[in-house]
Amino acid sequence: MSRRRLIGTAGAAGAAGLVAGAAGGSATYAATRPDEPTALATVGSATVAFHGAHQAGITTPLQARGHLVALDLAPGAGRKEAAALLRRWSGTARRLMAGEPVGEGDTGIALDAGPSALTVTFGFGRTFFDVTKLADRRPSALDPLPAFSSDHLDARRSNGDLWVQIGSDDSLVAFHALRALLKEAGDAARVRWQMNGFNRSPGATARPMTARNLMGQVDGTNNPKPTDADFDRRIFVPAKPPAGTPGWMTGGSYAVVRRIRMLLDDWDALPVDRQELVIGRRKSDGAPLTGGTETTALALDKTGPDGKLVIPDNAHARISAPEQNGGAAMLRRPFSFHDGIGADGTPDAGLLFICWQADPLRGFVPVQRKLDRGDALSAFVRHESSGLYAVPGGPREGEYVGQRLLES
């Protein structure tokens, strides 16, 4: 049975269930006859193209479910094995994103579901180029990130030769993709770490709106938008790459990935007005404390009757604002996570922070350095893992991801 088949739309199924409850079994049978499938619901039928100038999962709208996984090439594996793996992965990702079964070994986890806006994104860590003996083609932008005083990094959950980001609006579709790709890895690569995340489901709000994080804050207001005149310049490597950037990265981007644990019990103990001073925005709607709506520019010089800045000098929104960082900007595309209760009895929960930029030394690094020196939010978060990955441009028809690196 094709994954594209679905017994009924989400709305229709809900209504049919109510009718069946009142009318009896015959109505239930009529609504679910296998020879009369109806169209997929909007969420289930959404597709994202695998081929293109850029890989999927970068400018794709936030999805409800995500999996991040880093792998190391197995001992003895090199460039040849890496190329074969990326070829297999690309073929599997293309089929999955189209809502097609992956072959005879398909587990059936997502049977009956549509593609549900599934995206699969592949990247290379710094060590990948050493293992494959391609160090001369490693971008200078993959130089290690500097240490930050707020870091409490676990090396076992950081870095990795290969990085895969999976996103979908359906949990089973996302998990199905994860299982299929890990099975395809075979003996060529071993999982180094894996993390699971989530966001609000499409349609859960009365209108589309910026997501909230687990602190309850609207998160992502100042993100660069594809409609911005300088968006591509900030997020993607140009056709004529700068010095230190090899041509195979054209159309690509760099992903910084950080597991940021939120100290939610401490945060929740703060009154809302104190939380708003830490962030510099209203919790209710994300608007600046200086007034307006969520998209109103911060009035950073505005003072109150007491002569003090309305947005405190250590507020997160002030310190991270592009105008406070020489125009440095990055596209934040995170997932929240909750991995149960920690040994200290507090929620092991927070943000799987993922940001995209054409150059992390001009995007992430200057902003994080400034946050590290005096962000009021730092008292309520802990950076527990970190990774930096070169994500090549999207594959052309007939290509696999990374082919221009591995076969040039």
Q: Are 90 and 395 in contact (CB under 8 A)?
A: yes
Q: How far apart are CA 331 and CA 233, in angstroms?
A: 12
Q: 285 catalytic, yes or no?
A: no
Active-site choice (106, 170, 219, 359): 219
Q: Quick one: tokens of 247?
A: 């041509």
pLDDT at 103 (0 to 100) = 85
pLDDT confidence of residue 9 = 37
At residue 39, the pLDDT reads: 66
- Residues in contact with 27: Cβ distance below 8 Å, sequence separation at least 6, in sequence order: 16, 19, 20
**Of 340, 356, 361, which Cα lies nearest the Cα of 261?**
340
Confidence (pLDDT) at 150: 86
Contacts of 37 (CB under 8 A, 6+ apart): 5, 6, 7
Q: Which of 354, 395, 365, 390 is nearest to 128 (CA)?
A: 390
pTM: 0.90
The pair of three-digit structure tokens given for residue 171, joined into one six-digit string: 């949990």
pLDDT of residue 20: 33
* pLDDT, tens digit only, all 408 positions of the chain: 444 443 333 333 333 333 333 333 333 333 444 455 556 778 899 999 999 999 999 999 999 999 999 999 999 999 999 999 999 999 999 999 999 989 888 899 999 999 999 999 999 999 999 999 999 999 999 999 999 998 999 999 999 999 999 999 999 999 999 999 999 999 999 999 999 999 999 989 998 899 999 999 999 998 999 999 999 999 999 999 999 999 999 999 999 999 999 999 999 999 999 999 999 999 999 999 999 999 999 999 999 999 999 999 999 999 999 888 888 889 999 999 999 999 999 999 999 999 999 999 999 999 999 999 999 999 999 999 999 999 999 999 999 999 999 998
State residue 301's pLDDT score. Answer: 96
Task: Find tokens 């978060």 and name the residue.
Answer: 381
Instruction: Tell me how far apart the alpha carbons of residues 258 and 218 are, in angstroms, rounded to a whole number.
Output: 19
- Report how far residue 289's alpha carbon sits from residue 280's, in angstroms, rounded to the nearest whole number: 6
Instruction: Centre a 10 Å sphere on the Cβ of residue 189 and count the other Cβ atoms it contains.
Output: 22
Cβ–Cβ contacts within 10 Å for residue 384, how many? 17
> What is the 3-state secondary structure of the chain?
CCCCCECCCHHHHHHHHHHHHHHCHHHHHHHHCCCCCECCCHHHHCCCCCCCCCCCCCCCCCCCEEEEEEEEECCCCCHHHHHHHHHHHHHHHHHHHCCCCCCCCCCCCCCCCCCCCCEEEEEECCCHHHHCCCHHHCCHHHCCCCCCCCECCCHHHCCCCEEEEEEECCHHHHHHHHHHHHHHHCCCEEEEEEEEEECCCCCCCCCCCCCECCCCCECCCCCCCCCCCCHHHHHCCCCCCCCCCCHHHCCCEEEEEEEEEECHHHHHCCCHHHHHHHHCECCCCCCECCCCCCCCCCCCCCECCCCCECCCCCCHHHHHCHHHCCCCCCEECCEEEEEEECCCCCEEEEEEEEEEECCCCCCHHHHHHHHHHHCHHHHHEEEEEEEEEEECCCCCCCCCCCHHHHCC
| Rounded Cα distance, 354 and 334, in Å | 5
